[in-house]
A and B are shown apart, each in its own frame.
Chain A
């Protein structure tokens, strides 16, 4: 499970602990996803739903969001859709906003704090220059950032119990989706992935004393013109 996914799950479990309700995890995956699902159930999720359909192949964020939206509609009754702000693999932070659009849900991104009360959700959103406190009716979508919480580590007993919790598996057809249409919705093609080129001077300053090293550094600062205006 990704770090932010784990924090989103922790946030969900904390909401459950203060209100009545249950936590369902949802993922699009394959057999390998099973380990992640068990980890989520051990942390405190009540049940898991997984879309496991090898005919779908690899999906991009656009197609994945369509599958997730269909699965959320299938689950039907929910107050909150919680997810991490971004995955560290693709760094693209798009599934949350896409789901908000597809499901017509209030969109609360960058959540650093979260509260569910009186049929409303309140979140503190961490933006560049301000923290925004926003409020929305249920159901809503909230995507969380790292600062939201510290996820719990499941106890051995809960790890054992997790194996008995229900896991529901769906194929695309169960969600009313045709695999070829889902595949056709993939809209980004990754052409290649390379290590970034580093164009740095890589001049090493070795000196007898700290004073000598500093003198050389100040010389470099001056010749590079980075101390302008000082």
Chain B
């Protein structure tokens, strides 16, 4: 049958993937199918799915039952592309499904397209985030994941679509969930923050982070940092970068950040990047829309003061 099969347990991400699936269908043919666990079939149809499969997974999320459900839909649809939302759960599911199918898998695709020869192409980060690789699949189906906001969802409209209830017996998961501990809010929010202020090695001691806190406070921003500040010095819990959080805020303010390739890979999705660094040669300036060549110890207090005054008036 061909086409694109979309799955993400993250509803908003599923909508974005459907937007891409509809676009690819013009070149691939076939139809857009989607899988949902439990609810939400109408929403998926409104966002571009031609057919939605609904399954029940009584025990909540676990990779083994989800794998079995997804493979069942693959059997029915024979898609050219299986596109899974690149959450952590999605990224452990997709390669497992790829292995079951003997298929190639490209993770965290930033772009997906079809070239003139009809090949499906993916662009993704490689080599620690320093490079972008173009990859293609040698056979079908192709399996891919894509992160949030890589693709745009369609405006919801009253489309018609088929709904299929899956009635399959799921194998018992070998993994038993003992406990699920929600994370602290301060750690959880960085990926979805609309403004982030971030600390690098320009901060000389831990106490000095209050300068960043004050700026975060007036901007309503979340605080992030580079890997040395977190992993080496332990001043903050989570860092931004290829091995840490990948962020995409409206505004990213890098304070005393040198701008390594690993950090750059984590902030690439930001709408506006502003850096404050006294070192004119620091790599961060090349990654920035606006660079202040100046000392964070004088610029941050001045900036905070000015923003406070602006807020009051």
Tell me, in angstroms, the Cα distance from A51 to B111 when the chains sit together.
35
List B residues at the A interface (Cβ < 8 Å). 63-64, 67, 87-89, 91-100, 102-108, 121, 124-139, 174-183, 188, 191, 195, 219-220, 231, 242-243, 250-251, 268, 271-274, 285-295, 298-299, 301-303, 305-307, 310-311
Distance between B284 CB and nearest chain A CB, rounded to angstroms: 11
> Scoring A residues 181 to 208 as 1 if CB is less than 8 Å from chain B, else 0, what string do you get?
0000111111111111010111111110
Interface residues of A in 9-53 (CB under 8 A from B): none
Q: Say yes or no: B298 contacts A195, CB within 8 Å.
A: no
Q: Say yes or no: B188 contacts A129, CB within 8 Å.
A: yes
Q: Which 6 A-B pairs have the closest CB atoms?
A: A187-B104, A94-B95, A98-B99, A101-B99, A210-B298, A106-B174
Q: Say yes or no: B188 contacts A93, CB within 8 Å.
A: no
The 19 listed contacts between A and B (C-beta, < 8 Å) are: A89-B126, A94-B107, A98-B99, A101-B96, A107-B63, A188-B138, A191-B135, A193-B133, A196-B268, A200-B288, A202-B285, A210-B294, A211-B302, A213-B299, A215-B306, A218-B306, A224-B289, A226-B195, A230-B219
Interface residue A88 (Cβ < 8 Å from any Cβ of B): yes
Task: Contacts A109-B63, A205-B292, A227-B219 known; list 9 others, CB within 8 Å.
Answer: A61-B105, A94-B98, A127-B89, A128-B188, A200-B273, A200-B287, A201-B288, A214-B306, A230-B220
Tell me, in angstroms, the Cα distance from A215 to B186 when the chains sit together.
30
Interface size on A, residues (CB 8 A): 76
Interface residue A136 (Cβ < 8 Å from any Cβ of B): yes
B104 interface neighbour in A62, A105, A106, A201, Cβ under 8 Å: A62
Cβ–Cβ < 8 Å partners of B274 in chain A: 217, 220-221
Cβ–Cβ < 8 Å partners of A122 in chain B: 178
Tell me, in angstroms, the Cα distance from A213 to B243 when the chains sit together.
33
Given contacts A92-B107, A93-B95, A106-B174, contact A221 B306 (CB under 8 A): no
Interface residue A131 (Cβ < 8 Å from any Cβ of B): yes
Tell me, in angstroms, the Cα distance from A93 to B93 when the chains sit together.
11
Q: Say yes or no: A203 contacts B294, CB within 8 Å.
A: no
Distance between A146 CB and nearest chain B CB, rounded to angstroms: 6
The SS class assigned to the A binding surface is mixed
Given contacts A94-B98, A188-B137, A213-B294, contact A134 B128 (CB under 8 A): no
Interface residue A83 (Cβ < 8 Å from any Cβ of B): no
Q: Which of B92, B131, B134, B288 has the most CB of A within 10 A?
A: B92
Tell me, in angstroms, the Cα distance from A110 to B87 when the chains sit together.
12
Given contacts A94-B98, A187-B104, A200-B273, contact A89 B294 (CB under 8 A): no
A106 interface neighbour in B100, B175, B285, Cβ under 8 Å: B175
Residue of B nearest to A212 (CB): B302
Q: Say yes or no: B108 contacts A213, CB within 8 Å.
A: no
Cβ–Cβ < 8 Å partners of B67 in chain A: 101
Q: Say yes or no: A136 contacts B174, CB within 8 Å.
A: yes
Q: Say yes or no: A217 contacts B99, CB within 8 Å.
A: no
Given contacts A98-B96, A196-B268, A200-B289, contact A217 B303 (CB under 8 A): yes
Tell me, in angstroms, the Cα distance from A127 to B137 when the chains sit together.
29
Tell me, in angstroms, the Cα distance from A204 to B302 when the chains sit together.
18
